[in-house]
Structure 1
Amino acid sequence: MAPRNHLSFLFLSLLCFTSLSLLLSFLKNSFLSSSSPSPVISSRTIATRQFKHDEVSSGGCDFSDGFWIHDPKEKERSLARYDETCKEIFKGWNCILAGKSNAKELLSWRWKPKACDLPNFDPIQFLERYRNTNIGFVGDSLNRNMFVSLFCTLRHVSSEVKKWRPAGADRCYTFLKFNLTIGYHRTNLLARYGRWSANANGGVLESLGYKEGYRVDVDIPEGTWAEAPSFHDILILNTGHWWWAPSKFHPQKSPMLFFEKGLPILPPRPPHEGLDMALRHMILYVERRVRPGTIKYFRTQSPRHFEGGDWDQGGSCHRMQPLSSKLVDALFSLSNNGTNTEARLVNQHLYKSLEGSSFNILDVTRMSEFRADAHPSTAGGKKHDDCMHWCLPGITDTWNDLFIAHLSNTRI
């Protein structure tokens, strides 16, 4: 071959090779672009979706959307889980010992999510899986209701228990064989509060006519749980009922007076605005204080079922079966401005405050709204019907089923 032809051949070969390489590279990039996952979602977006939709953290099923099914076998399973002999049950919640007529029958109802089944709680498996773990319930007496349910369930299968009070806990137990600790930290508002009286020398609140009330420091956690975030591996927080408690925080006689950075917030704000401020500060406090990997839940509001008036107006809860969907909506609709709308009002504030946080949601409100039959009522031992707390054994066992199911899908 002539030298000139030889050079032409080499040039054409090199040109073809280069063109082929460019073509293959283009096709490879196009393929990767079309088959790669969608853009990464920020942790803020994920947290928001976890809060709004249970299915994000429960493998595709919204455990909170469902209905109650009457199942006689459920009563046997419930009483096999634990019974009225569990000594941790507060007397006013032990409906079986108190002789409430439907105390055992209310256990014959099983929660059925629409798209799946709520897994049965296996306490032995739970103790094994969460060895060397601290679980803290932080909130009002409704969180204690849930804490007691979990304790009694675990105590039924593991008898070696140490009672103590770490990190300011109101009550706490460690299951020694598994080194699993569950504690309850009592706090009504999450934020610190106490009695306030006017200063004889005057002040800004005194100049506005305030003589007494309750000082609420919206940016300071109550001491009972301030150390809980750095101690527990799993946290379940709640608040709500006390923010709508005029018998305690009377708007004229003993109002809530909100402080921030040690100074009164002016002009004075109504309780619902104070709740927003306290939630914002407390959520940020927890997120700053927890250890890496801590799982955080905020439980939605537990509904009350007073009919015929509020607790101090002769209200009662004598129903023997769960409510129908139609009656639930009538009793709890915010448009009715009824006695029990507190639950949905509180949840609105929770949704707003938790948006974008790293908390998971534990939605117990809807499933609980049906269960007007499951309160202690007159068996609570009070001068009025207890239509706020729940009988044990009872519905808070299902709350814990829900909690464990979510936890199994969010555990790091």
Structure 2
Amino acid sequence: MKKAPPFLNRHGQVQCLFTAALASLLVLGTARLVLDGLKNSHSPVLQLLSRRNPVRLPVNVSDEDVVEVGCNVFEGKWVWDNGSYPLYTEESCQFLVKQVTCQRNGRPDALYQNWRWQPNTCKLPRFNALKLLEVLRDKRLMFVGDSIQRGMFESMVCLVQSVIPDGKKSLQRVPPRKIFTAKDYNATIEYFWAPFVVESNSDNAINHTVRKRLVKLDSIAKHGKQWESVDILVFESYIWWMYKPQINATLGYPYNVQEYKVTTAYRLAMETWARWLEDRINPHSQKVYFMSMSPTHLWSWEWKHGSKGNCFNESHPIQGPYWGTGSNLEIMGIVRDVLGQLQIDATLLNITQLSEFRKDGHTSVYGERRGRLLTKEQRADPKNFADCIHWCLPGVPDTWNEILYAHVLQDYRSRKIKPPPAPAPAPARHKT
């Protein structure tokens, strides 16, 4: 057989190389399209993959995601940090209500957004929205309480929503609940209006302003029906109890209204709540937290001797030891007693002391009063109209959620490490 001429061999080699190069380009191009598609949440590639085989990342909870053993995160100081904080802005979170958007409402300074809580002996883990959402996959997280707790709910929504594509997140108002849904995670972050935790005549989430507050100290079943299937419950109840030294309440007989000392009524209500937890909560699948009281800053003489104002026009935290009269030590003791006697695990998140320093973080005259923004004349009268109870967002409640985040991830890791409880032995069978 005749050999092919040399130039034909070279031509064949070139053709083979060209074919191989073209095939490589096609493979690389296809891979690039797939990768670009994965980056784009709206791409047909990602939608096709998510329909056929949803991507579920393993949740790796490292030591950096949790608090060091033995560290008390509630003891520390506020440090200035305008590089890492705020964790979001009013503009970046569409779910904030007017009550908390102090910048939008005319507050001239934004310094309150740039303070970071630094525990004395450790670091507070950096909030990771994607990691939290993976931990919350197929779960419900619910905040239960008054408008302070609603602010914490809105803070948590703002902390996670930025990593969720448009069209994959929603907020529903189903009084007494608000429900934020992360669709791809089948997860919800919810808020439940219950200012006294137990039932009362102020339980209407929209119209709860009543002339005489009446608390049903031993009634909680109606609320509890909506809590039973929730995976993570975060309770809070304080400021609504402190309206007057006494409060009207019923106990045992629904029509027998008596006047109780507030601290006595509070203990009875907390004991009712504790009994409900022990009866209805599954400690192997559900987790319970209780937020300590959110402090008020109604009288500036407490941190500035001789002054006659309140939190209005304050721009820096209080330095050094401080405990204001707006935080009731007897109430704090009741919370500790009740939680200490519980037969199931419930974690106290003691945010009171760290929040005591933040006289600058309140909405002051840059919020709402009875659903309406303050008028120009009302803003000019901060002595009577400044709100030194609620908090601006971004702000102090974000730190509360950073602490909650660390606890949730710690609990997730401990549940993964700890083996599930052994099944009960089968009953012995007797021969008949």
Cα pair distance change 1:213/1:110, threshold 3 Å: closer
1:149-200, Cα deviation, whole Å (9 max, x unpaired): 011111111131243467x6520111001111111000111111228xxxxx
Per the alignment, residue 398 of structure 2 pairs with 397
Residue 360 of structure 2 corresponds to residue 354 of structure 1: no
1:269-305, Cα deviation, whole Å (9 max, x unpaired): 2121011000000121123222342000000011011
Question: How many angstroms apart in 1 are the aligned matches of 2:179 and 2:409?
Answer: 23
Question: How many angstroms apart in 2 are the aligned matches of 1:216 and 1:111?
Answer: 36
Query: What is the CA distance between 1:226 and its match in structure 2?
Result: 2.2
Cα pair distance change 1:236/1:269, threshold 3 Å: same
Question: How many angstroms apart in 1 are the aligned matches of 2:279 and 2:93?
Answer: 37
Q: Secondary structure at the match of 2:294?
A: coil
Q: Which amino acid aligns with 2:169?
A: V
Residue 317 of structure 2 corresponds to residue 322 of structure 1: yes
Query: What is the CA distance between 1:307 and its match in structure 2?
Result: 1.8
Question: How many angstroms apart in 2 are the aligned matches of 1:169 and 1:341?
Answer: 27
Per the alignment, residue 139 of structure 1 pairs with 145
Per the alignment, residue 208 of structure 1 pairs with none
Greater share of residues in helix: 1
Question: How many angstroms apart in 2 are the aligned matches of 1:283 and 1:69?
Answer: 37
Question: How many angstroms apart in 1 are the aligned matches of 2:339 and 2:318?
Answer: 30
Q: Which amino acid aligns with 2:406?
A: A
The equivalent position to 2:69 in structure 1, one of 46, 52, 59, is 59
Map 1:32-111 → 2, pairs under 5 A: 59-75=69-85, 78-79=86-87, 81-103=88-110, 105-111=111-117
Cα pair distance change 1:57/1:229, threshold 3 Å: farther
Per the alignment, residue 114 of structure 1 pairs with 120
Residue 156 of structure 2 corresponds to residue 156 of structure 1: no
Cα pair distance change 1:317/1:260, threshold 3 Å: farther
The equivalent position to 2:263 in structure 1, one of 267, 272, 288, is 272
Per the alignment, residue 6 of structure 1 pairs with none
- Contact residue 162 and residue 175 of structure 1 kept, 8 A: yes
Residue 217 of structure 2 corresponds to residue 218 of structure 1: yes
- Contact residue 237 and residue 297 of structure 1 kept, 8 A: yes
Question: How many angstroms apart in 1 are the aligned matches of 2:212 and 2:357?
Answer: 36
Q: Secondary structure at the match of 1:296?
A: strand
Q: Secondary structure at the match of 2:228?
A: helix
Q: Which amino acid aligns with 1:92?
A: Q
Per the alignment, residue 194 of structure 2 pairs with 187
Provide the TM-score with structure 1 as the length reference. 0.71
Per the alignment, residue 259 of structure 1 pairs with 251
Q: Secondary structure at the match of 1:93?
A: coil
- Contact residue 305 and residue 317 of structure 1 kept, 8 A: no
Identity, in percent, stands at: 26
Q: Which amino acid aligns with 1:142?
A: I
Per the alignment, residue 376 of structure 1 pairs with 363
- Contact residue 298 and residue 360 of structure 1 kept, 8 A: yes
- Contact residue 140 and residue 187 of structure 2 kept, 8 A: yes
- Contact residue 68 and residue 112 of structure 1 kept, 8 A: yes
1:213-242, Cα deviation, whole Å (9 max, x unpaired): 54422111274x322331210000010111
Q: Which amino acid aligns with 1:300?
A: S
Question: How many angstroms apart in 1 are the aligned matches of 2:89 and 2:123?
Answer: 22
Cα pair distance change 1:386/1:345, threshold 3 Å: farther
- Contact residue 136 and residue 228 of structure 1 kept, 8 A: no
Per the alignment, residue 276 of structure 2 pairs with 285
- Contact residue 169 and residue 183 of structure 1 kept, 8 A: no
1:333-357, Cα deviation, whole Å (9 max, x unpaired): xxxxx4x233x34322211221122
Cα pair distance change 1:169/1:341, threshold 3 Å: closer
Cα pair distance change 1:59/1:316, threshold 3 Å: closer
Q: Secondary structure at the match of 1:236?
A: strand
Query: What is the CA distance between 1:57 and its match in structure 2?
Result: 8.1
Q: Secondary structure at the match of 1:243?
A: helix
What is the number of equivalent residue pairs in this alignment? 316
Structure 2: gaps spanning 5 or more residues = 1-65, 203-210, 303-307, 368-372, 379-384, 416-432
Q: Which amino acid aligns with 1:151?
A: V
Relative CO higher for 1 or 2, CA cutoff 8 Å, sep ≥ 6?
Answer: 1
Cα pair distance change 1:89/1:164, threshold 3 Å: closer
The equivalent position to 2:350 in structure 1, one of 351, 363, 383, is 363
Question: How many angstroms apart in 2 are the aligned matches of 1:111 and 1:57?
Answer: 14
Per the alignment, residue 26 of structure 2 pairs with none
Question: How many angstroms apart in 2 are the aligned matches of 1:309 and 1:264?
Answer: 42
Cα pair distance change 1:354/1:58, threshold 3 Å: farther
- Contact residue 374 and residue 391 of structure 1 kept, 8 A: yes
Per the alignment, residue 233 of structure 1 pairs with 231
Comparing 347-356 and 113-122, the one that deviates more: 347-356
Cα pair distance change 1:215/1:322, threshold 3 Å: closer
Question: How many angstroms apart in 1 are the aligned matches of 2:299 and 2:221?
Answer: 33
Question: How many angstroms apart in 1 are the aligned matches of 2:99 and 2:296?
Answer: 16
Question: How many angstroms apart in 2 are the aligned matches of 1:230 and 1:153?
Answer: 26
Per the alignment, residue 55 of structure 2 pairs with none
Per the alignment, residue 15 of structure 1 pairs with none
Map 1:162-181 → 2, pairs under 5 A: 162-164=170-172, 169-181=176-188
1:105-127, Cα deviation, whole Å (9 max, x unpaired): 21221111111100110001111
- Contact residue 311 and residue 360 of structure 2 kept, 8 A: no
Question: How many angstroms apart in 2 are the aligned matches of 1:373 and 1:314?
Answer: 13
Which stretches of structure 1, 4 residues or longer, exceed 3 Å deviation after superposition?
81-85, 162-166, 212-215, 261-266, 313-317
Query: What is the CA distance between 1:309 and its match in structure 2?
Result: 8.7
Q: Which amino acid aligns with 2:292?
A: T
